[in-house]
Chains A and B, each alone.
Chain A
Amino acid sequence: MTNHETTNVLLIEDNPGDADLVRLRLVEGQSPVKVNCVNRLSDGLASLTVETPSVVLLDLNLPDSRGAETFRRVIEHAPNVPVVVLSGQDDEALAMKAVHQGVQDYLVKGNISSKHLERSIRYAVERQALLRALEISQKQKIDFKNQFLSHVSHELRTPLTCIHQYVTLLLDGLAGPLAPDQGDHLKTVLKSVNQLHAMIRDMLEAARAESGKMRIERRCISMGELIHQVAAMLRPTADEKHIGLELGIDQRLPLVHADPDRVLEVLINLVDNGIKFTPPDGAVMIQANVVEADPGSVYVSVSDTGRGINPETKNLIFERLYQDPEAVDNNRSGLGLGLFICREIVRLHEGRIWVSSEPGQGSTFTFTLPVYSLPKLLSPVIVYQGELRPAFVLVRVDLIPNSNPPRGNWKETCMRALDILSRCIYLDKDLLLPPMGMAGAAETFFVVASTDLQCAGIMTTRIREQLEKLEELKDKGTIAISTLPVEFLPEKADESIEQQVQTVADCVSQMVLKGLERKHAPAKSAQQVN
């Protein structure tokens, strides 16, 4: 701001005397000023929508807003405009709070000189501009890095695909028979190609994790099944090295609430590492169990009989790009991103991951995942201010394919429908339960509405309207939406709120298991598309 530039001030002040005084001080200053004065917050916000002033001078107590609420709404409305609060003698504490929460400065009314005011405005404008520049530059840096990585990954994949295609052509005998040695050599090439491929994937994954763009789609999954899947995938690799792959899965293991593809990624990474760092004739063990002290989590561990990890490096191995300096043998260990990605995936699931190891005694990597718990999922919507709501409404959405088996990429269609559903609910009022039923070829989703029938009706309409826009559903399937009010048993005086939630959850899960039989659905309203 130079002295010759006009400063546009939006003054939001309801006291005419104070407003006049501030206006006078502004005009007395050295630099040219234009003042737009309004006396209500709503008028101020409206003015901010029309034009952006250089600075807002804001009284906190206005006819339509008081205290902290006033500056919060201004900042929310115009985050890039500097705000200077005008406080009374008795509310300096509030003004200080405002400064902590994004306001640039405060002035105490009655003590305002024109010089003081001018300087405060100038600094506020400068600081806000610096903050904005910093924000933009940080975002640009991250964007640039991601763009670069995405570009590099694309460029590397193209020749890699070509190598992959020709090697597999040869290995599959499509270019004539191979001598046994030649086949072995080509298998080595293919192994390296796959390693390169994995590195490229990890590089992108790590960048995504770092910029908070990694996504997880949680479902209700069985850890036991996933472990068996990983064991089947990696057993050939283990057999090749004469390493035993053992499983120890607790029979009473509860289901977990997690993204199956991501958890598979973590498991593959840990088991693959275990095999890599275990000498021939050793063993890798995958275990899953529940610990008495922490019943809300499933503990999954991967132990090996390798050389173990030094105590000093234990805390470093989950960091990005960490490479074990002692691992300079014939194992090409990749980019050092695998465990970093594992940690980020586990973190996104609100779990923990750690390693325990003694040098020479092998290592055990353990991670936790939250148990799938209907009461835990339900409680945010059915408990209100420490009280159980008397009723709520279940909304059920069925996607029914036009043919059996379904045509086309039905799984993909369902995933996209689920994505649409998740955007239809209001996070503070509604809750989207993960897909729970598989009725034949149809995919079933349940949405729980926290409020009364009328609100559930509005949500149902919203869901229907959005799903109707899903093009592939139009020619591949139909949508059926039904609603069902759930009433609870009268509250028992001696039951804690947790117990009551548990009772409700039991009732809901029974309904879900029964597939919400039609006779139980008096308020059913089926809607069909197509």
Chain B
Amino acid sequence: MAKAKILVIDDDPDLVRAMRLRLRASNFEVATATDGYSAIASAQKEKPNLIILDLGLPVGDGFVVLDRLQNSDSLAGIPVIVLSARDPQTNEERALKAGATAFFQKPADNDELMNVIRASLGEAKAHRAPWPS
């Protein structure tokens, strides 16, 4: 079975590197983007099965990215997990309303994050299957 691909969008290259290592160790394929503009281009090119998205991004913040993902026929079905340092009390509801599957505040518990990634992938496969396998 092909590995599931995860697109990590975060403007902190050090964090992106660590996420890549961790996700690869869990047998995922990883693509990355560091700003809002290239995030959409990467999503279109890489056709990921799941996206991990930071909110504070240059060139179009996380909410702009969420909005553009939701408004794209080919990208709308991809589950998006928001991973942000911002206050959940003011951002979580907004992110979920904008189409995110889950919200994690940084620093997030690795096991919890991994569980939600696996659950979202299983679900996407069963109900949406955004890309033909």
Q: Is the CB of B12 within 8 A of A158?
A: yes
Other-chain contact of A162, B15, B25, B90, B101 (Cβ < 8 Å): B15
- Say what secondary structure dominates the interface of chain B: helix
Per-residue 0/1 for A194-205: is the Cβ within 8 Å of any B Cβ (1 yes, 0 no)? 000100000010
Interface size class of B (residues with CB under 8 A): 20 to 34
Instruction: Assess whether B67 is interfacial by the CB under 8 Å rule.
Output: no
Q: Is the CB of B87 within 8 A of A153?
A: yes
A157-B106, A162-B14, A197-B107 given; A471·B87 CB < 8 A: no
Instruction: Assess whether A276 is interfacial by the CB under 8 Å rule.
Output: no
Considering only CB atoms, which chain B residue lies closest to A155 in the complex? B85
What's the least CB distance linking B38 to chain A, in Å?
20
Q: Is the CB of A161 within 8 A of B127?
A: no
Other-chain contact of A160, B56, B90, B107, B123 (Cβ < 8 Å): B107
- Considering the chains assembled together, what is the distance between the CA atoms of A164 and B21 in angstroms? 14
Per-residue 0/1 for A134-164: is the Cβ within 8 Å of any B Cβ (1 yes, 0 no)? 0000000000000000100111011011101
Interface size class of A (residues with CB under 8 A): 20 to 34
What's the least CB distance linking B13 to chain A, in Å?
10
Q: Is the CB of A168 within 8 A of B15?
A: no
Q: Is the CB of A407 within 8 A of B123?
A: yes
Q: Which of A165, A213, A409, A471 has the most CB of B within 10 A?
A: A165
Considering only CB atoms, which chain B residue lies closest to A163 in the complex? B107
Instruction: Assess whether A416 is interfacial by the CB under 8 Å rule.
Output: yes
Other-chain contact of B87, A154, A164, A175, A416 (Cβ < 8 Å): A154
Instruction: List residues of chain A with CB within 8 A of the CB of B96.
Output: 409, 412, 416, 472
Per-residue 0/1 for B73-107: is the Cβ within 8 Å of any A Cβ (1 yes, 0 no)? 00000000000011101100100110001100111
Considering only CB atoms, which chain A residue lies closest to B92 in the complex? A412
Q: Is the CB of A471 within 8 A of B15?
A: no
Other-chain contact of B19, A150, A165, A471 (Cβ < 8 Å): A165
Q: Is the CB of A204 within 8 A of B87?
A: yes
Q: Is the CB of B101 within 8 A of A409?
A: yes
A407-B127, A471-B97 given; A175·B107 CB < 8 A: no
Other-chain contact of B107, A165, A408, A409 (Cβ < 8 Å): A165
With contacts A160-B106, A161-B106, A166-B14 known, what are 10 further pairs, Cβ within 8 A? A154-B87, A157-B107, A168-B110, A193-B107, A197-B107, A215-B89, A403-B127, A412-B96, A412-B102, A416-B96
